[in-house]
Amino acid sequence: MVDICWTAIDKLTPNGRNARTHSRKQIGQIADSIAAFGFVVPILIDDDGVIIAGHGRYAAARLLDLKQVPAIKVRGLSQAKRRALALADNRIAESAGWDRELLAIELPALAEILVVEGLDVSITGFSPVEIDQLMVDFEEDASDPDDAIDPKWTSAAPVSKPGDLWELGRHRLLCGDARNADHVARLIGGAHASMAFLDPPYNVRVRDIVGRGQVKHAEFAMASGELSRSDFVAFLETTLAEAAAVSRDGAVHYVCMDWRHIGELIEAGGMVYGDMLNLAVWVKSNAGQGSFYRSQHELVGIFRVGEEPHLNNVELGRVPSGVSGRRGCFAMSSSLSAHQWALGPQRGPWRACWQFRRSSGRSRHKWHPFPKRLASA
């Protein structure tokens, strides 16, 4: 038998055997839900007011300073059945899944309706990052119009020459050498970057990582497999030092690297930066070549310039972990043209890097000194 009633919160007792944990963030989410929708899911209690299920709702009610809460009093269960029910109520729910394709339709549509109610879609418990990931995964056309490439660009004579500085609206693009202090200074124009996303050559031969398709790629101009370990460390130290020299103290640099040479990156980074903050992993849409575990990831070393503390805009639980599963703009798809392939085999996560870009920086100055799309120009 069960009875549904409003019960004074002081009459309820948390179960000492409760194995379910609730973070402060989750309790806050439950409290927000109760404030928005009302206390529509009662707390399950026994004859003595001991909570069987609903400890998170109980904590949220305390947070909201509620005096009474709805409760369902379960009568006639043995102690063993009450303890089993407390576990089953939580564990069985965990076995459910999500139709992610339906979520990708429902959540964006719901977000627009909730605005009228004065609510944010995060009231559902889904973070903006999770919603954006769903939209990326299930968008009908995953291509970005900005990635469209005119076939003439890969066949016509190069227009840019070393030293040319292109001003593209608020953006600046220099045809030059990222190891050259004068080139870097000209590009940055006296500003100091708060963040840099760097994609230096990986010192890997192109012919070792591309497939057997009709399009063949030329080797990069430098650090394309010809450098010894010590020479590559020196190469990275030079390039990273130039980037650090035009960044403010406390800036955060994200540096892409192949797994084969992550050791050299960490060694060079230790000589240039004040600290290594983390190592992120970009999980790519499709695997590369190889016979022993085909690589489907790239590593991103995260470093802090100087000794000043970096600005941390990452909210725990609201931004993805150090593993990014976002598609790159050159993921395998039917819309990928031969002209896009012709631009070169090694590209950073252009569409994925926004997650990194949001996490730090006090100003608008952000730069990418190794634009791989132009590597062949």
Q: Model confidence at 178, in pLDDT bands (50, 70, 90)?
A: confident
- Answer whether residue 88 shows pLDDT above 60: yes
In DSSP terms, 7 is beta-bridged to: 69
pLDDT given at position 267: 96
Do residue 278 and residue 336 come from a single domain? yes
Q: Are residue 217 and residue 341 in the same domain, yes or no? A: yes
Q: Give phi and psi for 4, each to the nearest 5.
A: -105, 125
> Is the per-residue pLDDT at 359 higher than 50?
no
* Mean pLDDT of the residues in the chain: 79
pLDDT reading at 149 higher than 60: yes
* Domain match, 25 and 76 both: yes
User: Over the Cα atoms of the chain, what is R_g?
Assistant: 27
Query: In the prediction, which pLDDT does 235 show?
Result: 92
**Residue 172 bridge partners (DSSP):** 167
Domain-located, residue 154? no
As a whole number of angstroms, the longest Cα–Cα distance in the chain is 86
Q: Does the residue 152 lie in any domain?
A: no
Co-location of 217 and 117 in the same domain: no
Confidence band, pLDDT 50/70/90 cuts, at residue 334: very low
pLDDT score, position 368: 56
pLDDT tens sequence across 305-316: 998 888 776 654
74 within some domain: yes
Residue 7 lies in a domain: yes
- Of 46, 69, 94, the last residue of a domain is 94
Q: Which is higher by pLDDT, 99 or 153?
A: 99
Q: How far is CA 301 from the centre of its chain?
A: 14
pLDDT at 159: 84
> How many domains are there within the chain?
3
Give the residues across from 300 on adjacent strands.
Answer: 256, 280
Q: Both tokens of residue 170?
A: 């608020």
My answer on whether 49 and 105 are in the same domain is: no
Q: How confident is the model at residue 18 (pLDDT cuts 50, 70, 90)?
A: very high
Q: What is the CATH number of the domain that holds 47?
A: 3.90.1530.10
Give every CB contact of residue 130 below 8 A, 6+ residues apart in sequence. none
> In terms of domains, do 213 and 362 share one?
yes
Top mean-pLDDT range of 137-151, 195-209, 340-354: 195-209
Residue 342 reports pLDDT greater than 50: no
Range of the domain at 106: 100-130
Q: Using pLDDT thresholds of 50, 70 and 90, give the confidence band for residue 268.
A: very high
Neighbouring C-beta atoms of residue 373, cutoff 10 Å: 16
What is the pTM (predicted TM-score) of this model?
0.52
Q: How far is CA 142 from the centre of its chain?
A: 18
Do 62 and 106 lie in one domain? The reply is no
Q: How confident is the model at residue 329 (pLDDT cuts 50, 70, 90)?
A: very low
The better pLDDT of the pair 130, 126 is held by 126
How many CB atoms are closer than 10 A to CB 74? 18
In a domain, 170, yes or no: no
More confident residue, 163 or 295: 163
Question: What are the φ/ψ torsions at residue 250 (nearest 5 degrees)?
Answer: 95, 0
Structural domain contains residue 164: no
**Mean pLDDT of all residues in 272-299:** 78
**Residue 302 falls inside a structural domain:** yes
Whichever domain contains 237, its CATH number is 3.40.50.150
**Coil, helix or strand for 182?**
helix
Clarify whether residues 213 and 340 are in a common domain: yes
Does the pLDDT at position 216 exceed 80?
Answer: no
Contact, 113 vs 132, CB < 8 A?
no
How does strand 297-304 pair with strand 323-324? Answer: unpaired
Residues 75, 112 within the same domain:
no
179, part of any domain: no
- Same domain for 106 and 49: no
Are residues 366 and 222 both part of a single domain?
yes
pLDDT at 8: 96
Confidence of residue 201 (pLDDT cuts 50, 70, 90): confident
Share of the chain above pLDDT 70, in %: 73
pLDDT-above-90 percentage for the chain: 44
Q: Specify whether the CB–CB gap between 14 and 22 falls below 8 A.
A: no
User: Do residue 221 and residue 270 come from a single domain?
Assistant: yes
